[in-house]
Amino acid sequence: MLSDAEKNYLAAERLAPTRSEYLDGQVFPLPDATPEQLLIAENTALLLASQVAGRGWAVLGPGTRLHALGAGLFTYPDVALVGGKVLRLADAHRDTLLNPTLLVKVLPHPMPPHFQEIFEAYYAIPTVQHVVLITEYAARVSLGSRTEEGSLEVQGFTGLAAVLTIPDLELALPLAEIYHGVALRA
């Protein structure tokens, strides 16, 4: 059940020309994505789509709004991977995702202060098993994975020769392909 504040946010967000995130009653305008961020997100979505093809998974892009039930969060990951049926908020619009398995966020530079809280709220979503954070200006990627015990394990991948692997999802994402066509600064 949504609070009145959450319902008001959604009503305003659906009419707004730019996107905003909602966290615990506060609304944060999203910074405009750079061409590099958009290309990295597209490359990552294509990599994921090619690896989950025929497996009953859905790859959703940057226009997908996500709601973390019970965490007071509405946000826009750059890519969301859903294992099985895509569940959406049961309202008249059905335009808000509820059950991602993996989330990808390309980090803007500089990073807005509220992003740390957003990332922490990602793990409040029971279906989220992995979060991939990608730096836009250097070949650096972090993978946060939920362990069987429920704790968080974080791995870092650096350099274009590195390959981010997620064995339980049978995924291997070469950083060279994530960053294909991107002029790195560091």
Which CATH number covers residue 141?
3.90.1570.10
Tell me which residue of 93, 82, 101 sits closest to 146, measured CA to CA.
101
Q: Answer yes or no: is 119 within a domain.
A: yes
Q: Answer yes or no: is 185 within a domain.
A: no
User: Model-level pTM?
Assistant: 0.94
Task: Write out the residue range of the structural domain in which residue 80 sits.
Answer: 31-178
Encoded tokens for 167: 């064995």
Helices (H), 79-161: 115-122
* 135, 108 contact by CB (below 8 A): no
d(CA 173, CA 180) in angstroms, rounded, equals 12
pLDDT, mean of residues 7-34: 94
Q: Answer yes or no: is 23 within a domain.
A: no
d(CA 20, CA 18) in angstroms, rounded, equals 7
d(CA 78, CA 172) in angstroms, rounded, equals 18
Q: Answer yes or no: is 73 within a domain.
A: yes
Q: How many domains does the chain have?
A: 1
pLDDT 10s digits, 107-154: 988 888 888 888 888 988 999 999 999 999 999 999 999 998 888 899
pLDDT 10s digits, 37-83: 999 999 999 999 999 999 999 999 988 999 998 788 999 999 999 99
Q: Which contiguous run of DSSP H or E holds residue 39?
A: helix 35-52
Q: Answer yes or no: is 186 within a domain.
A: no
Predicted local distance difference test score (pLDDT) of residue 123: 86
In sequence order, what are the residues at sequence separation of 6 or more whose Cβ sits closer than 8 angstroms to the Cβ of residue 148?
none
